[in-house]
Amino acid sequence: MDAITHKRDSEPPAPAAGEAGADITRQLSGRLRALRTERGWSLQRAAEVCGVSKAMLGQIERGESSPTVALLWRIAGGFGCALSDLLPPPVAAAAEVRDPGRLRARPASDAMLVAPLFPFDPELGFEVFELTLLPGYERVSEPHVAGVVEHVVVQRGSLEVLIDGAWARLGEGEGLRLAGDREHGYRNVADTAVVFLDLIHYPRGRGARRD
């Protein structure tokens, strides 16, 4: 995968904040070890596939640090799994009301809050996040696995999306579909938070926990 490096990615991971952060760190540690065991990969092999340093991956597996969301994406790309596969599991019930206020957490040092509204479903091939970018947030994402398509709908505030090398501005209620397997990015240049939904669709056979 052609990783587009970004300064933020190379910064050392910050310890996860608060109880929710500790939960996420613990969950991530367990998921990562399980995924690696499933594939029979050594730490070295996993680090190479994900394009992450072995030391960093080891720290995350031991629950000693929480990575940035960008790093989570890189790990998900390496393992060929969905982002929500690395986050706390859903409390699944068919008619359960999903309250972003309770699901929202800051999984990393990024100025970004993530609420897994509908975690990845292997049958349906998609996951839905509510994402909050705090003022000043900017990230150019490395491409996700081939065939990933993101559907972005702004709920509050004004979002700028990097698509085909130019920043497009989306206002409240506006949506945009973009190829997640090409360079893309998000930024908030306003002085208030922007909240948007991101439905991420994975092509058949990708993003699954297994197979």
Q: Which residues bind Mn ion (CB under 5 A)?
A: 141, 180
Shortest distance (Å) from residue 150 CB to Mn ion: 5
Q: Which is nearer to Mn ion, 51 or 63 (CB)?
A: 51
Shortest distance (Å) from residue 31 CB to Mn ion: 19
Residue labelled with tokens 């394009």: 51
Shortest distance (Å) from residue 55 CB to Mn ion: 26
Q: Which is nearer to Mn ion, 66 or 141 (CB)?
A: 141
Cβ pair 62, 29 in contact under 8 A: yes
Dmax (CA) for the chain in angstroms is 46
Sequence-distant (≥ 6) Cβ neighbours of residue 28 within 8 angstroms: 60, 63, 66, 67, 72, 86, 87, 107
Shortest distance (Å) from residue 50 CB to Mn ion: 16
CA distance 168 to 159: 8
Q: Which is nearer to Mn ion, 6 or 45 (CB)?
A: 6
CA distance 78 to 144: 9
